[in-house]
Amino acid sequence: MLNLIQLTSDKDDYSFFEWLDTQELLFMWTGDIFSWPIRPADLMTYVNRIRKKELVSLNFYNSSGVLVGHCDIDNISERHKRGEMTRVVILPQFRNSGIGQQMVSEVVKFTFEKLNLHRLELKVFDFNKNAIRCYEKVGFNIEGLLKDFLYDRGKFWNLYVMSMINNVTT
C-alpha cells in the first residue's frame, strides 16, 4: 500500500531530485525543464508552479514511510477536462518491483476522482519497455509515436503518446 502526498510548498519533500544523478536521467525525467546540474533557480521555478497550482505534484511513500516515487500531473485543462502525467520517477532500488504500477493506479484514481478530469495522457520514450508495460497494465493505450520529438546531446528521441479515458465522467 502506498501513501500519496500532494506537494504544496517549498517545505515539502523534494529529495527525489537526488535520484536524478546523471545528465541523461535528468533529461529523461524532465526534458528541457531543468538544466544539468540542477540549479536552485530551476527548482524554485518548479516549486512556484506547484504553489500557484499550475501543476499537481505527488510523492508516494511505502508503509515504512520511505519516499519511493514521485509523479506530476501537468498541462491540466479544466475546460477540456484533461491532464498529462509527467515526470514519473521511482527510487532506484524499488524499480521493477510493482511500485510503478501501484503509483500509476493511484495517479489515475487521483486524476479522475479528485481533479475530476476525463482524459489522462502521458509521453514515454519508445525504448522504455518496462514503463510502457506498466502503463498498459493500468489501462493506458498507445495513441501514436512522436518521431524525433526531442533532441539532446546529438541524438533524437522518440516518444509514444499514451492515454486513458475516464468512462465514468460525462
The domains found in the chain, sorted by start residue, are 3-165 (3.40.630.30)
Pairing mode, if any, of strands 82-90 and 119-125? parallel
What's the pLDDT tens digit per position in 103-119? 999 999 999 999 999 99
Distance (Å, whole) CA 156 – CA 151: 4
> Does the pLDDT value for residue 120 go beyond 60?
yes
Decide: pTM greater than 0.85.
Answer: yes
